[in-house]
Structure 1
Amino acid sequence: MLVQPPAPPASPVPPASADDLAALLARLTALLLKSSGEGAHLIGGTVARTARAYGAEATVLLVPEAAVVTVTAADGTSRTVTVRGFPEVFRLDRDAALKPLLTAVGRGEVDLPEADRRLRAVENAPPPYPWWLKLIGIVLFALGFAPLMQATWYEVGTTAVLGTLTAALAVAADRFKGLALVLPLTVSVAVSVVTIELFAGTPAHGGPVLLMLPALFYFVPGDYLSAASAELAAGLITTGAIRLVYAAFLLIQLYVGVLLGVLITGTSTRTLFDVTAESDLPRWALFLGWIVFTLGTVLAFAIPLRMFWPLLLLVYLTVAVQSLVTKAIGETGGTFFAAVALGAAATAIGRRPDRPPALILMLPGFFTLTVGSLGMRGLTTLAGGHVVAGFTDLLKLVTIVTAIAVGLVTGAALGGRRDEGV
């Protein structure tokens, strides 16, 4: 993706040299890439706007995990740098800290040395929560999601055990980098084995995959799938296609892990049926579940705690719109209009400098649309020999992914998104 900004206006701070500005923009681009699991389409505009603040021009040639930044300073000298950054969404505290810095830079309130110092501080900041709070956050994240799979107390109890197992492995991977390389596969194998051996003894409790999914949801790439579709819908073919392939790879890793668990336990793949247990959760538990889910999202993804209440409001907005519209016109329409409402509200709120970035505002509400779980259910149901049900889930996946992507793009446009950046 090539972003070509307009000619820069007169800068309120002294123009920077090409070398100094290229170093700053390289660090900024790398940091933005690392937190671009929800899409990289605003990176080019953010970098270009930062360059304009220092009287220069910048263009960005972008793919999801790398970028080539070309800077042309006010004196006509140019520099080109290449940066890399693996896309993820696990340290959103950096996004929260970047927004006020970039706002100050855009207003001409920060000279380049000070901007560089503050950017390094953001880059090197430790996680906002200790490891044990992240562990609790992942467990709460799974528990809040569990009623979406099956509204039963058994699902919630099973998820408490399996979510703790997932959280322990995720926290361990922060310290042991070798484990991080195979973490999705390792987690899905462990969750599959424990579920089959301890919890999936009878169809009355629902299908085994429905018991596994809440604990695996932290790794299910629904955000990558929808971000890829949104980038494709916006005409960003390269970034969207690459992200789509990566999302499919992550999904297949989880699927293979579940199958390996079946093989390790000596169980037939026919046990991977997709049957939902009869609901026994009261309505108040379903309502309070979203509070648990949002708090878990805040802790698991390193979002500043002060942002909890606006995130919870957007979660309830998304759920309300999806529920009401689904009753009127069906699931696909409900998902689309929920995504439109979420995108519009998050973009409008996020435009103010003192509010959280739109990415953070969208994330918990987006997770409520549960797109990634359809892919897992479809693949495992196919592996169990239930062909019709498996292909039905996969077809629904394609439909819902597209509905979410187009809905978020539409909502962002209605909310007044500016393509320059955050």
Structure 2
Amino acid sequence: MTDIPLPATPAAHTEAADTEAVGFVLRLGRALHTYGLSADALEHALQGMSERLGLQAQFFTTPTSIFAAFGPHERQRTHLIRVHPGDVDLGKLARIDAVSRAVEQGRVGAAEGSAHIDAIIAAPPEPRGLVRVLAYGVASAVVCRILGGGLNEVGVAGASGLVTGLIWLASRRWPHGSHVFELVAALAVSALVTLFAAWSDLRLSIPTATLGGIIALLPGLTVTVAMTELARRHLAAGTARLTGALLVFVTIAFGVAVGSEVAESLVGTVRSFSPRRLPEWTLTVALAIAPLAFGVLLRARWRDFPWLWLSSTIGYTAVRVSALAFGPALAAALGALVVGVLANLYDRRGLGPAAVALVPGVLLLVPGSIGYRSLTSLLDENVIVGVTAGFTMILTAVAIAVGLLVSSVIVPTRR
């Protein structure tokens, strides 16, 4: 008796479903990578999503690429995605996370989820243009006050921050403009601050005002993420990210040095003064405004602003209170621990990805200004101060990474 072959429809359906699931996971990985997720968090997210969709998969990510292998070891299909990291976009990250949750829970199919992700990526970034430029100016002014600047320094830093924002806006229209954005902005801000100090009658601390004007450029967050990746034994991504951050620091320091020399070649040597201390209440105002300015720069959704403001305020307060009893490194670790716990609770309650509350909270803790001062001291041939500041930057970044790691043990994220 001849065997009747089984119909091929179920197998074909399974293969098509697997293809849709793989497509969704790859789109999800590219989007999460582009909008700011760290390598270890990205791998865990993709692994969890693959298991929910019934896929056998392995992932390896670096700051510029994603390797994804699907299927049993002897029959794996490997995909390589070349990624160019973009600006952190907390709004799109939150919307992509919502799609991810819907697919995980079975409310949306893989093919429909892929379409949603494509639409999110294609949507224009928010906020646009001049609103973001204004946020650069506000962030520079308030951070300058947090760093000890006086009224003159705060005003000049705010104006310099607007210049940085305008250069950012112009760099979006230049071919490969993003590659020279930090260099051009640092050079312009340094030259403008020096010229203003020479031509005005204001007593101005040139280093403080310059640092305020370029504060949004400093890759302190990148250094902290790199240390977190290294602590989690993701050595390739952590090393590459740390090297990239060091290159940005050197580029900014070089731009500041050249801008200062160009300005002094025009007006001669310019004297710098110590900043005049402002009343303590101005620091409270600066701390209240800073998270809102960073929220705009990070493109957070308006409905998430109360959460990121709460995370930033509580985290910085924890650091200030801890510093009264402990050293700066332990204070930074405790501040990061508080921010990490709040961010993970935000994630577990289904309000959005932990990064929405984590990144703004950590921004006020990261050691970017210390790294900048380290390199400028080295350029001024003040080796001992430069090396000490550099070591302090690394120690602070490690302390923040430890705090975040402990917070993930106390309150694990949803995935």
TM-score by length of 1: 0.88
Counterpart residue number, 2:195 = 197
Does structure 1 residue 91 correspond to structure 2 residue 108? no
Q: How far apart in 2 are the matches of 1:92 and 1:245? A: 24
Q: How far apart in 2 are the matches of 1:266 and 1:153? A: 24
Determine if contact 2:354/2:413 at 8 Å carries over to the other structure.
Answer: no
Counterpart residue number, 2:324 = 327
Q: Deviations over 1:92-147 (max 9, x none)?
A: 22101011111111112111221111111111111122211111122222222111
Counterpart residue number, 1:402 = 398
Q: Are residues 369 and 200 of structure 1, via their aligned partners in 2, closer, same or farther at CA, if it must alter by over 3 Å?
A: farther
Counterpart residue number, 1:362 = 358
Q: Are residues 15 and 54 of structure 1, via their aligned partners in 2, closer, same or farther at CA, if it must alter by over 3 Å?
A: farther
Counterpart residue number, 1:10 = none
The Cα shift of 1:273 comes to: 10
Q: How far apart in 2 are the matches of 1:61 and 1:389? A: 39
Q: Are residues 377 and 205 of structure 1, via their aligned partners in 2, closer, same or farther at CA, if it must alter by over 3 Å?
A: farther
Q: Which of 386, 389, 393 lines up with 2:389 in the alignment?
A: 393
* Secondary structure of residue in 2 paired with 1:67: strand
* Secondary structure of residue in 1 paired with 2:413: coil
Query: Aligned letter for 1:285?
Result: T
Determine if contact 2:158/2:212 at 8 Å carries over to the other structure.
Answer: no
Question: Percent identity, aligned pairs only?
Answer: 22
Q: How far apart in 2 are the matches of 1:224 and 1:275? A: 32
Q: How far apart in 2 are the matches of 1:394 and 1:410? A: 25
Q: Which of 298, 313, 320 lines up with 1:316 in the alignment?
A: 313
Q: How far apart in 1 are the matches of 2:384 and 2:199? A: 24
Bigger relative CO (Cα 8 Å, ≥ 6 apart): 1
Query: Aligned letter for 1:28?
Result: L
1:401-420 correspondence runs (5 A): 401-417=397-413, 420=415
Q: Which of 243, 254, 260 lines up with 1:245 in the alignment?
A: 243
* Larger deviation, residues 146-155 vs 246-255: 146-155
Q: Deviations over 1:371-394 (max 9, x none)?
A: 011111111122223333323222
Counterpart residue number, 2:256 = 258
The Cα shift of 1:344 comes to: 1.4
Query: Aligned letter for 1:298?
Result: G
Counterpart residue number, 1:9 = none
Counterpart residue number, 1:58 = 57
Can you give the 5+ residue segments of structure 1 that lack an aligned partner in the other structure?
Answer: 1-12
The Cα shift of 1:69 comes to: 0.8
* Secondary structure of residue in 2 paired with 1:80: strand
Q: How far apart in 1 are the matches of 2:353 and 2:274? A: 37
Determine if contact 2:146/2:286 at 8 Å carries over to the other structure.
Answer: no
Does structure 1 residue 345 correspond to structure 2 residue 342? yes
The Cα shift of 1:16 comes to: 5.0
* Moved segments of 4+, more than 4 Å: 13-16, 204-207, 271-276
Counterpart residue number, 2:115 = 117
Q: Deviations over 1:46-92 (max 9, x none)?
A: 1122222322222112112101111239xx97532111222344322
The Cα shift of 1:165 comes to: 0.3
The Cα shift of 1:260 comes to: 1.2
Q: How far apart in 2 are the matches of 1:52 and 1:236? A: 21
* Secondary structure of residue in 1 paired with 2:251: helix
Q: How far apart in 2 are the matches of 1:261 and 1:63? A: 34
Q: Are residues 402 and 138 of structure 1, via their aligned partners in 2, closer, same or farther at CA, if it must alter by over 3 Å?
A: same
Query: Aligned letter for 1:386?
Result: N
Counterpart residue number, 1:20 = 20
Can you give the 5+ residue segments of structure 2 that lack an aligned partner in the other structure?
Answer: 1-12
Q: Are residues 344 and 253 of structure 1, via their aligned partners in 2, closer, same or farther at CA, if it must alter by over 3 Å?
A: same
Q: How far apart in 1 are the matches of 2:249 and 2:292? A: 25
* Secondary structure of residue in 1 paired with 2:217: coil
Query: Aligned letter for 1:21?
Result: A
Q: Are residues 375 and 207 of structure 1, via their aligned partners in 2, closer, same or farther at CA, if it must alter by over 3 Å?
A: farther
Q: Are residues 387 and 278 of structure 1, via their aligned partners in 2, closer, same or farther at CA, if it must alter by over 3 Å?
A: farther
Query: Aligned letter for 2:62?
Result: V
Q: How far apart in 2 are the matches of 1:59 and 1:200? A: 59
Determine if contact 1:105/1:115 at 8 Å carries over to the other structure.
Answer: yes
TM-score by length of 2: 0.89
Q: How far apart in 2 are the matches of 1:275 and 1:267? A: 20
